[in-house]
Structure 1
Amino acid sequence: MSATCHDAGAASAPAGAAEIALVGAPNVGKSSVFNHLTGLRVKTANYPGVTVTRSSGRIEARGGMPSVGVTDLPGTYGLTPLSPDEQVVADHLAGRLPGAPPPDALVLVVDATTLRRSMSLVAQAAAKGLPCAVALTMTDELRSAGGDVDAVELGRALGMPVVEVVGHRGRGVPALRDAILAWRTWERPVLPPPVDDDDELAAWTTSVLGAAGYRAATLPRRSRGIDRVLLHPLGGLLAFLVVMAVFFQTIFAVAAPLQGLVEGAFSRLSDAASAAIGPPLVADFVSTALIGGVGGVLVFLPQIALLFVLLALLEGSGYLARAAVLMDRVMAVTGLDGRAFVSMLSSVACAVPGIMSTRTMPSSRDRLATMLSAPLMPCSARLPVYLLLVGMLVPSGATWGPFGAQGLVLFGLYLLGGLSTLVAAAVLTKTALRGGGLPFYLELPPYRVPSWRTVLHAVGGAVGTFLRKMATVILAASVVLWALLSFPSRPAETAGMDPADASAYVLDHSWAASLGHAVQPVFEPLGFDWRIDVGLLGSMAAREVFVSTMGQVATAENPDSPSTALQELTWTEGPRAGQPLFTAPTIAALLVFFVYALQCFATIAVLRRESNSWRWPALAFTYMGVLAWVMAWAARSLVGVLG
């Protein structure tokens, strides 16, 4: 048997083909099971009329057996909806969503280590009267922690097939695939008592688990000892800060040599293109806009890849869930809870998925407060800008105690962004978004060694997204900026000048210069001249564009030595003419500006989509823009005073 990709509801689906839905709580391994069933080749699309996404695939059978469509529904703790995701699950099962046919049968993905708490969802699903089967995950962890369950007896007690599956390793998936293909042979499940009767439901749960010989896992003594430290109100916070400090030290220490190799390769490629291409304008376009513009950002790919490796390791080990529980106490000060912290932590990779993850939050007030503050979290798009500017501000060999100074400054920027997110959330929940929240609960996974397949899958997806962004948004922005910086070319006025002077003259009289001069009065108090302003405007498409813009400016200013040209730039006009541009106060102001400013059209678009209004994106863009200017001015003033 094999699994092939198919978008549920597409015209190519066989008429009358069966549809199976995977139902389960978050973090039970449901998506891993789905990926193995469909061969890691899936289609993801929005449900019609809503922003919640669904993943769909097909399991193809041989020997004339009919294929089966499989849909991975959003994670849900119950079928009485409290959040937008849970509402979509309920509507999908009831067939209320256009273009999303109701399932013919259900596969309930259940974590064996939390089986007792999962029985409420099993009961609610069984009450639907559809044929059901259970994919019982984490049984290896259950038994390694001293627990046990008899899957066959559990199936008899429930009246449905039960298949043991280890999702992240694919163990048991062939048996589950066979069971799904034979779904028509499933018996109707034994109907549970009314799910709103807690006493009867508890008695039914005890009876079923007793028949299955269920013995709950006991947390190993070592794990309990670790949790006593990592979940301690004070010790846990200190441990979290240490973990994050080491995290950012690693990004600089490990990835820097790789960055040098990538930078050298692009430099040689740019020189070769300039030498091989005859027409000067074409040669400049290829070497500066294409190779230089994109390469100037791609040199930071090692750090970005390492960032996602470290995040995947922390998540896979079970530590990030502990961090969410730990931060629940801190989040209470803001009027939010640990669910908001999970979304904010997701925004460290990118604000877009972080904002989208708020769909699982049952409180609309909490969703909006989290969405409006999450863009302040230091996302991976800021990383190339931070690395460029920190490298200009702090010497590479500088240390503070056992730590590298560059890594500490980077950690400080991330800490500033995180703390500012919490402050913004607190202000929002106490002003524009007053109201009460809902109780918070989160299942703590056991400590485990992360699966290298899971880590590679997460990192590969993130790096692939970054490369697609490079090949589309950043490449297009680099080409546009090259045109703005290079035209009008003024060949008559530059005749007789040496190449460096001619290039600088064209730059100073370019369309970009006119644009930069138009906004310079707004940013001049921060120490930004028109060239930096052009970079800020370009970064609205993607923050990384600031790096490629500065690279093109450096090349135009000093074609012979663009790598050092940025630090040698001076003011070209006004009372500061001839003074260095990138001074310590100016660099500090730029760093702080990027901490706060909402420079991402994609984030603005997803805020509009998730809130269903332009009011909230406009509020976010305005308050973050004002905050960025004020805080950048304060940073410049402070660094100037400190000297």
Structure 2
Amino acid sequence: MTPTAALIGNPNTGKTTLFNALSGLNHRTGNYPGVTVESKKAEAVFGATRFHLIDLPGTYSLAPRSPDEMVAVDVLLGRQTGEPQPNVLICIVDASNLERNLYLTTQAMEIGVPVVVALNMIDVAESHGVRVDADRLAAKLCVPVVPIQANQRKGLDALRMAVEQALKHPAPLEHPRFPDVFETETTNLGRYLGSSIPPYLVRRLIIDVGGQAEQRLAGENGVHGPVPAVEARTRYGWIRRTLEGVVQRPSERLTTWTDRIDAVLTHRVWGTLVFLVVMFLLFEAIFVGAKYFTTPIDTAKDFLASMVRDGLPPGPFTNLLADGIIVGVGSVVVFLPQILILFAFLAVLEDCGYMARAAFLMDRLMARAGLSGKSFIPLLSSLACAVPGIMATRVIEDYRDRLATILVAPLMSCSARLPVYTLLIGAFLSEKAGYSWWVPGVTMFALYAIGLILAPLMAWILKRTLLRGPKPVFVMEMPSYKWPDMWGVLRRIYDAAAAFLYRAGTVILATSIIVWALLNFPAGDYAERMAKLEASVSDVRQQVETAEGDEKEALAKQLEPVDEEKNRLLMDWRRNSYLGRAGRALEPVFVPLGWDWRVTVAALASFPAREVVVGTMGILYQQGKVDAGDEASATRLGIEVKKGGLTLPGAVGLMVFFALCCQCASTLAVIRRETRSWTWPIFTFMYMTTLAYLGAMLTYQIGTLLGL
């Protein structure tokens, strides 16, 4: 049977970097059974032995407080479904912060599994003037201690050999001894529970549960204080004695370049300015830089759909494959560059140590909403897509804080809403519409500000009603600055992209097929009539492809009446489709918002992915296929929408509606997955739809009263 080695360590100790180095990036990413916590596994050869290698979630203690930490403990104890107990534990510690890191190591040594200590960040410790005698530390801990630099791939061969030897020749483990009264109670409770409960769990039962055992201990020997405090005092006392003669520190603390940078980045004024610049660069990269990549993807999507239409005989199957599947899934794939850029930025900023500083700066604002600074990163991620943003809430320990962050994350305007904003702003509020040059930019900022303001406000309401609980205490380690591990960053980008495409793409595929069917049935004789129209000008279309100059322009004019007739026929088809009928039936509900049945249908059809609203409106307003990235076609559509009766208040209300409504089916699916309940996605859809409706109605009614 192949043995298992598990990597365990505090956050920001280089654990994942070490895992990537040992696995060669050839690992598998998934979820542990029954939970949403991500699992990373790989095959690795240590010496002459092949191991299953597991990268456990980072944790400060084996007294779990978050889903990630609970999984780490369950795997170490062999209680996680589908995971055997590890045969060897690789405890990675930060050499520059050894005392605190060894706290987790002392807990791991009590489990009874062979332990190897990977002494990482030796270079960082030396830059602080700290020297660690690894051999002496190994002698005192009675476990192998191997100095490494994971990001430079140094010391890995020695670590591999130490892991193999620990498996073949396990040594007796030392660990702190607690006060006699504590040890006595542990022994008595262990006898009562029987051999089925591991000794480590018996000890944790006394430490972590504030019940009769704790009361009895406090009553018998009050000098020890609360039981959890006894553990901390005992472990840190043992660690300090162990490190005597092992760690050499300078007589005076050195001022490092990390301290100098922190003086700026954590400053209330300068730090905030730097943060705004970083966010500006992030948004510029997402919303501007991604255009260079989305256009080829969109072109490839259209080319593939055209190949299907040209290569297969006309009919429902061809339409389903081209318009339902290829275009439906392609509408998600086209936003992949934004996801890649977002995760690249976040991975680099996190690896270099900046994200902890940003969370520190935002903690004051988050605290007013009843959240902590840890909610900032998920909300920031949701500006590109709520799916990875919601997944990022796993680092939040408190369940109420985590749930509140999940429920408000979709209020942040995602990139899929940009096409709607661009279309309507260009038609109603641009210079061509008679407004100053600065109005479009301010309008776009205001739409994003709606989410930025309402998300904390909604969290404040939730934390005082449904999710009432104690005010969160924000404690976050400020890691040293370091160069990102680029191979690890690339792997994280790849994993995030794969997870996004799998989770969002599968949902989009199913819902796109449903929407396609609702827009195309009942078919009647529309398809046959359109085929006859196209056949009547097929020769002319072939001539247009080969003609040039005036001849080509003249031939194109011959096609205009036929194209207009096709658009009218297509609109009539959509009007009488199941979705069109639903739109007309619901039109009275949306009249207070200034919408007609076409806007209603576009809003309904865009639920799978908000960006498809532009294409749907293009069909409904007789403009055929419209690309939101094509300024000319988008402008034409905007003009037609305006001609169709949508007023300025109605258009602004429509933008407000899309700013506040639930983003897409993928968002609800990931909320269901993260909360393991249908209650919260239904609640999210209901409260966001209510907010969107009220916001759009107030915007339209007030704007109309003002005569806009």
TM-score, normalised by the number of residues in structure 1: 0.82
Which of residues 246, 249, 270 is equivalent to 2:284? 249
1:203-352 equivalences under 5 Å are 203-215=237-249, 222-260=257-295, 262-263=297-298, 279=314, 288-289=323-324, 292-295=327-330, 298-352=333-387
- Quote the Cα distance in structure 2 between the aligned partners of 1:396 and 1:120: 63
Q: Which residue of structure 2 aligns with residue 510 of structure 1?
A: 577
How far apart are residue 427 of structure 1 and its match? 1.1
Question: For each residue in 1:465-510, what CA deviation from the matched residue of structure 2 results, as whole angstroms up to 9, or x when unmatched?
Answer: 4444675333444444333333333437957773233223222222
Q: Which residue of structure 2 aligns with residue 31 of structure 1?
A: 16
1:106-125 equivalences under 5 Å are 106-125=89-108
Letter matched to residue 597 of structure 2: W
Question: For each residue in 1:67-121, what CA deviation from the matched residue of structure 2 results, as whole angstroms up to 9, or x when unmatched?
Answer: 3222222221111223333333333333333433222221112222322221211
Letter matched to residue 595 of structure 2: F
- Quote the Cα distance in structure 1 between the aligned partners of 2:80 and 2:294: 48
Q: Is the 8 A contact 2:626 2:637 kept in 1?
A: no
Which of residues 590, 593, 618 is equivalent to 1:526? 593
1:176 aligns with 2:147: no
Paired residue total:
617
Q: Which residue of structure 2 aligns with residue 72 of structure 1?
A: 55
Q: Which residue of structure 2 aligns with residue 54 of structure 1?
A: 39
Q: Is the 8 A contact 1:362 1:438 kept in 2?
A: no
Q: Which residue of structure 1 aligns with residue 518 of structure 2?
A: 484
Secondary structure of residue in 2 paired with 1:67: strand
* 1:74/1:448 CA distance change after superposition, 3 Å: closer
Letter matched to residue 488 of structure 2: T
Q: Which residue of structure 2 aligns with residue 40 of structure 1?
A: 25
1:579 aligns with 2:644: yes
Q: Which residue of structure 2 aligns with residue 188 of structure 1?
A: 172
Letter matched to residue 408 of structure 2: S
Q: Is the 8 A contact 2:42 2:52 kept in 1?
A: yes
Secondary structure of residue in 2 paired with 1:532: helix
Quote the sequence identity (%): 40
Q: Which residue of structure 1 aligns with residue 82 of structure 2?
A: 99
**Which sits farther off after the overlay, 481-490 or 130-139?**
481-490
Question: For each residue in 1:196-228, what CA deviation from the matched residue of structure 2 results, as whole angstroms up to 9, or x when unmatched?
Answer: 354443343233334333448967555434323
Q: Which residue of structure 2 aligns with residue 367 of structure 1?
A: 402
* 1:562/1:397 CA distance change after superposition, 3 Å: closer
Secondary structure of residue in 1 paired with 2:290: helix
Q: Which residue of structure 1 aligns with residue 65 of structure 2?
A: 82
How far apart are residue 131 of structure 1 and its match? 1.3
How far apart are residue 565 of structure 1 and its match? 4.8
- Quote the Cα distance in structure 2 between the aligned partners of 1:68 and 1:558: 54
Letter matched to residue 402 of structure 2: R
Which of residues 449, 452, 457 is equivalent to 1:423? 457
**Which sits farther off after the overlay, 547-556 or 222-231?**
547-556
Question: For each residue in 1:106-141, what CA deviation from the matched residue of structure 2 results, as whole angstroms up to 9, or x when unmatched?
Answer: 111222232222121122222333211112223333
How far apart are residue 411 of structure 1 and its match? 4.8
* 1:590/1:226 CA distance change after superposition, 3 Å: farther
Question: For each residue in 1:363-417, what CA deviation from the matched residue of structure 2 results, as whole angstroms up to 9, or x when unmatched?
Answer: 333233233223323445545655665666665999x99x987666555444432
- Quote the Cα distance in structure 2 between the aligned partners of 1:71 and 1:381: 36
* 1:603/1:70 CA distance change after superposition, 3 Å: same
Question: For each residue in 1:314-357, what CA deviation from the matched residue of structure 2 results, as whole angstroms up to 9, or x when unmatched?
Answer: 33332221111111122221222223334433444544454444
Which of residues 612, 616, 621 is equivalent to 2:685? 621
**Which sits farther off after the overlay, 144-153 or 216-225?**
216-225
Q: Structure 1 stretches of 5 or more lacking a match?
A: 1-13, 572-577
1:21 aligns with 2:1: no
Letter matched to residue 625 of structure 1: T
- Quote the Cα distance in structure 1 between the aligned partners of 2:335 and 2:235: 55
Q: Which residue of structure 2 aligns with residue 575 of structure 1?
A: none
- Quote the Cα distance in structure 2 between the aligned partners of 1:155 and 1:226: 35
**Which sits farther off after the overlay, 20-29 or 243-252?**
243-252
Q: Is the 8 A contact 2:339 2:385 kept in 1?
A: no
Secondary structure of residue in 1 paired with 2:90: strand
Letter matched to residue 604 of structure 1: L
Q: Is the 8 A contact 1:130 1:188 kept in 2?
A: no
Letter matched to residue 330 of structure 1: L
Secondary structure of residue in 2 paired with 1:116: helix
Letter matched to residue 118 of structure 2: A
- Quote the Cα distance in structure 2 between the aligned partners of 1:555 and 1:468: 34
- Quote the Cα distance in structure 2 between the aligned partners of 1:142 and 1:273: 61
- Quote the Cα distance in structure 2 between the aligned partners of 1:245 and 1:274: 42
Q: Is the 8 A contact 1:308 1:349 kept in 2?
A: no
* 1:440/1:559 CA distance change after superposition, 3 Å: closer
RMSD: 3.9
Q: Is the 8 A contact 2:353 2:482 kept in 1?
A: yes
Secondary structure of residue in 2 paired with 1:71: strand
Secondary structure of residue in 2 paired with 1:54: strand
Secondary structure of residue in 2 paired with 1:541: coil
- Quote the Cα distance in structure 1 between the aligned partners of 2:321 and 2:79: 53
Q: Is the 8 A contact 1:500 1:559 kept in 2?
A: no
* 1:246/1:606 CA distance change after superposition, 3 Å: closer
- Quote the Cα distance in structure 2 between the aligned partners of 1:225 and 1:370: 33
- Quote the Cα distance in structure 1 between the aligned partners of 2:321 and 2:395: 46
Q: Is the 8 A contact 1:43 1:55 kept in 2?
A: yes
1:548-567 equivalences under 5 Å are 548-550=615-617, 553=620, 557=624, 564-567=635-638
Q: Is the 8 A contact 2:571 2:621 kept in 1?
A: no
**Which sits farther off after the overlay, 297-306 or 18-27?**
297-306
- Quote the Cα distance in structure 2 between the aligned partners of 1:445 and 1:296: 39
* 1:523/1:152 CA distance change after superposition, 3 Å: farther
Q: Which residue of structure 2 aligns with residue 536 of structure 1?
A: 603
How far apart are residue 33 of structure 1 and its match? 2.0
Which of residues 199, 202, 207 is equivalent to 2:236? 202
Secondary structure of residue in 2 paired with 1:569: helix
How far apart are residue 309 of structure 1 and its match? 3.0
TM-score, normalised by the number of residues in structure 2: 0.76
1:593 aligns with 2:660: no
* 1:501/1:52 CA distance change after superposition, 3 Å: closer
**Which sits farther off after the overlay, 276-285 or 247-256?**
276-285
How far apart are residue 421 of structure 1 and its match? 1.5
